[in-house]
Amino acid sequence: MRTRSPVGGYDQRRGEIAHYFDRTAAQAWARLTSDAPVGRIRATVRAGRDRMRTTLLSWLPADLRGLRLLDAGCGTGALAVEAARRGADVLAVDLSPTLVDLARERLPHDLGEGRIEFRAGDLLDPGLGHFDHVVAMDSLIHYELPDAVRVLQALTARTRGSLLFTFAPRTPALAAMHAVGRMFPRGDRSPALQPMAETRLRTMLATHTPLWHPVRTQRVASGFYTSQALELRPAGTAA
């Protein structure tokens, strides 16, 4: 199946997200992803993200030596660092140059046999090449379902082993949080999450990525953080 690049809504949304994380939220995001004290709400988000990162890492091989991994939407680089410590050759990409610079500053020296290349840009850039594994943790949650599926379709065309990603599941609690968020002044809002019904997501994946099958899923709910991980693998392979 020929891969069609997301356009229109994807491009516009990508620009909004880049602006938000590179300017509006850069300082708050730097604090959230550090060990600095944070408020009660942000603490639940930090805990939820830590649990999700641990889940995704547990789905990757313990030994990643000789394998190339794309951290698609790397933020400040925590997942990329752990993958590199397992020996992976990691390309870590994020829309925000500010967060990528911070990830470089935080890069530890004890990566063992692994290495990380940080790059600011679009995760769909064909110049990034091919990968054994791709991880997109909370990097598609702001896109509408059709755009997110087209991104996944494009990524599977360049992935050999597994594609791990997260989405915002459609739940009553998450809908209530979104309603509260709309009450904030526009300048204080983050780009809205786009909740997805899992059944519809799976149906669209079956249509657009028929050679890739979901093999496992896990939801993480921690206060104001709710996200669900899904692993895709080529047909005929198992977790």
Residue 16 lies in a domain: yes
Element containing residue 74 per DSSP (H, E): none
Position with higher pLDDT, 6 vs 94: 94
Question: Token pair for residue 96?
Answer: 């925000």
Question: Token pair for residue 17?
Answer: 């997200």
Identify the CATH number of the domain in which residue 85 sits: 3.40.50.150
Instruction: Report phi then psi at 40, rounded to 5.
Output: -60, -45
pLDDT of residue 178: 55
pLDDT of residue 87 exceeding 60, the answer is yes
pLDDT of residue 236: 80
Residue 177 lies in a domain: yes
Question: Token pair for residue 85?
Answer: 């410590």
Residue 150 lies in a domain: yes
The residue segments making up the domain with residue 51 are 9-234
Residue 171's pLDDT band (cuts 50, 70, 90): confident
pTM of the model: 0.89
Give the whole-angstrom CA distance, residue 78 versus residue 32: 12
CA distance from start to end of the chain: 24
Residue 96 lies in a domain: yes
Residue-averaged pLDDT of the chain: 89
Between the CA of residue 235 and those of 45, 151, 218, what are the distances in Å?
34, 19, 20
Residue 1 lies in a domain: no
Angle, helices 145-156/9-19, rounded to nearest 10 degrees: 90
Residue 14 lies in a domain: yes
Residue 4 lies in a domain: no
Position with higher pLDDT, 24 vs 117: 117
pLDDT of residue 205 exceeding 70, the answer is yes
In the chain, how many domains are there?
1
Among 100, 117, 151, 159, smallest CA distance to 134 is for 159
Block residue for tokens 């610079």:
101
Considering only 38-47, 81-90, 169-178, which range has the smallest mean pLDDT?
169-178
pLDDT of residue 188 exceeding 80, the answer is no
pLDDT of residue 174: 61
Residue 2 lies in a domain: no
pLDDT of residue 2 exceeding 50, the answer is no
Handedness of CA 175, 177, 180, 181 (dihedral sign): negative
